[in-house]
Amino acid sequence: MLEWLDSLKKVMDRGTSPKSPEAFEILIQLTEMATKHVEDQAELANQLGKAQESMKSEVADFQFPTLLTLEEEAFLEKVGKEMESQYNQEIKDNG
């Protein structure tokens, strides 16, 4: 995790675009670490979706503790949106 965090900081320090393969790799590594020991990833995604929906009605100020700065979280969110956008475009182009 510390190596991953160091990689994230270096990518951000260099001003790497959230659209870059290097940024995508950072997010992929995080996802792999988070799901490494999960047997049923579809069920995990389902449960996370339910949790997000229920948290919308909860206090909006609550945040889980994190090692990431707000800037790092924002960068990862942009990377995720870019990955999703490219994926959707590929589906559209190949569909």
Q: Which structural domain range is residue 16 located in?
A: 1-37+68-95
Q: Does residue 33 belong to any structural domain of this protein?
A: yes
Q: Is residue 95 part of a domain?
A: yes
Determine the pLDDT at residue 71.
93
| DSSP, residue by residue, the chain | -HHHHHHHHHHHHTT--TTSHHHHHHHHHHHHHHHTT-S-HHHHHHHHHHHHHHHHTS-TT-----SS-HHHHHHHHHHHHHHHHHHHHHHHHH-
Q: Indicate whether 28 belongs to any domain.
A: yes
Asked whether residue 56 is assigned to any structural domain, the reply reads no
33 within 8 A of 90, measured Cβ to Cβ: no
Q: What is the pLDDT of residues 59-95, one digit of tens each?
A: 555 566 778 888 998 999 999 999 999 888 888 898 7
- pLDDT the model gives residue 50: 75
Average pLDDT over residues 24-52: 80
Give the pLDDT confidence score for residue 21 in this predicted structure: 94
Contact 90, 27 (CB under 8 A): no
Instruction: Write the pLDDT tens digit of every residue in 1-33.
Output: 889 999 999 999 999 999 999 999 999 998 888
Q: Is residue 46 part of a domain?
A: no
Question: Is residue 7 situated within a structural domain?
Answer: yes
Give the number of domains in the chain.
1
Residue 63 lies in a domain: no
In this prediction, residue 34 has a pLDDT band, given cuts at 50, 70 and 90, of confident
